Every structure is written in structure tokens, then in C-alpha cells.
Structure 1
Amino acid sequence: MAISGKISVEIVIQVPASKFFHILAKEFHNIQNICERVHGANLHEGDDWHCTDSVKNWTCLVDGKVITFKERIEAIDEEKKLIKYSIFDGDIGQNYKLFKDNVQVTETNNESASVKWTIEYEKINEDVKSPYGYLEFLEKSTIEVGDHLHKA
């Protein structure tokens, strides 16, 4: 059984790429008001939700369990519509030495976008499950945000 790995999911949403990317890059604090699986989020360190110096606390429903973790943006590439996150502490930190997720939003046409999430992880031992539940959380949250933006 592998200790480390990389998994990904790609979702097509009926929202322009720039509109979806904007909520991740500029209005991330609103995700908790849009996604039912996000039970809470707050700024732990820093003054701005959208800079690489800030750390956020999250409480989310993953695999039917409420989990907590901290998240920091490692990099934002506006041109490529790419954000790299580092996830640590809380329930994630108890099971993974390394947990990073990246999201890239690509325009498919003026009305829709492809959103690709990639998780890179290293488990603390072989008994820890690969984070497919977290990947499903990202997929369902993406669909919820896409539906919310489509209606707006």
C-alpha cells in the first residue's frame, strides 16, 4: 500500500471560469455561506483571507464526519486561474504528513468551465485511508458553488 499519492477530480460547471475563480481568489470567506458541507471558517492568522500569509480554520463535513483543519494559500496564479493550498493541523494533520490541494479553472466556453482539483498527500502510516472522501467534498462543494453562481 502506498504511503503517498496524488488523486484528482474534474468537474464541468455552467459558470464562466473567471466568475468561479473570482469566488475562490477574492471571496473565499463566502464559501461557508454557500456550501452545506462547510460548517464554519474563520481567519486564524493574518488580515486577509486571500493572501499567502493568512491561515484559516475550517470545520467541514467529510465522509459523514465533522473534521477540522487549517489551510493556507501557497500560491495564486491569476493568469492560469490556479490556486495552491496547504492543508494541515486538526484531523488532517493527525492522518497526513503532507496534504496539498490545487485547483485550476479552465474556460470551456463563455458559459461553462472545467474545475480540476488535485490532492497530493503523504499518510502518516499505511493504515490511513487515501483522502477520497476529501476529494468528494471538493467535488460536491464545487457543484454547490457553481449552482449558486449560476443562479446569481
Structure 2
Amino acid sequence: MASKLVSQTKIKSSGDVFHDLLRHQPHQISNISSHVQSCDLHDGEWGTQGSIISWNYVHDGKDMFGKEIIEEIDEEKKSITFKVIEGHILEVYKTFKLICHVDTNGEDHLVTWTFEYEKPHEDVEDPHSLMDVIVGITKDIEAHHLDQ
């Protein structure tokens, strides 16, 4: 059962800086947000399609792990697609993708996170609490860049 969950967050910091951090320096996010413990590169190079990275993060008060492949990068649209290939989230969902898209219109910057996932059955809840974590990380990154 394919599903989608979307969240948009306005940020005051630069959308370009946000996209660049997520693409080229996601390992720095653990220094910015308490939700992320670490981000490691397993294969490829930071910021390149096909690279494999892993995350240690906190979700619902528990330490979690996820490994993702950077499936697509669209520099023009400031969009990155991560496909989960290992980890806790695949214990709940058959497939899971995270897409981050940054829109910049003058002084306005909008970060859109989209989750595309497949539930094994209808009883599985949508990942609203995980989206809350991602939005929290987004706000932590914004606050970090505004402080600089």
C-alpha cells in the first residue's frame, strides 16, 4: 500500500545553505541537532548520486539507525532523494524514501520534506512522529545558520 506524507517548513536562513549542508556536509548535522548522533559515509563521495550514508538518530526517545542511498540529486530544483536500504524504518515499512526540496523566492525559503513509503498492511501508522523529527532537524539547522 503506497503512501505519501508531506511537510513544509518556512525558514529564515538561506535555502541554498540548507540544501548545500544536506547534500555535501550531512555529517555536520550531528553538531547542529540533538536528534542526530552521527552521519557516516559508507560508499561514494559526499553529495554524489549513488553514495551510501548511514544515520544514527533519536526517534521517540530511542536510538535508531538508518542506511540510505542518495538516489537522485537535482541541483536546479535543490532536491535530494534518499532511499532507505537498511535500518529500523524498514522493520515497519516495506520501502521508504525521503525527498527534501528547497524553494527560494526572494527572501522566502521553504523546505519541503516528502516521505514515500509502502506499508505492509493498513494497520501500520503513517510516520508522523518521524516527520516531526525531520522538521525538528530542519528547525535546528535554521537556528544554527541564523546564529552565525
TM-score w.r.t. length of structure 1: 0.90
After the TM superposition, which residues 49-128 of structure 1 pair with which residues of structure 2 at under 5 Å, given as runs?
49-110=46-107, 112-128=108-124
- Distance, in Å, in 1 between the alignment partners of 2:85 and 2:128 is 17
Match of 1:41 in 2: 39
- Distance, in Å, in 1 between the alignment partners of 2:49 and 2:123 is 32
1:29·1:49 contact (CA, 8 Å) conserved in 2? no
2:12·2:109 contact (CA, 8 Å) conserved in 1? yes
Q: CA deviation at 1:63?
A: 2.1
Q: CA deviation at 1:88?
A: 2.7
Q: CA deviation at 1:139?
A: 0.5
Match of 2:143 in 1: 147
Aligned-pair identity in percent equals: 33
Structure 1 gaps of 5+ residues are none
Structure 2 gaps of 5+ residues are none
- Distance, in Å, in 1 between the alignment partners of 2:5 and 2:50 is 26
2:27·2:38 contact (CA, 8 Å) conserved in 1? no
What SS does the aligned partner of 2:94 have?
strand
Q: CA deviation at 1:22?
A: 1.3
Deviations 1:1-56 (A, max 9, x none): xx33101110001112212111112222211111110012212223x121122211
Deviations 1:106-141 (A, max 9, x none): 11333x411000101002233432111111111000
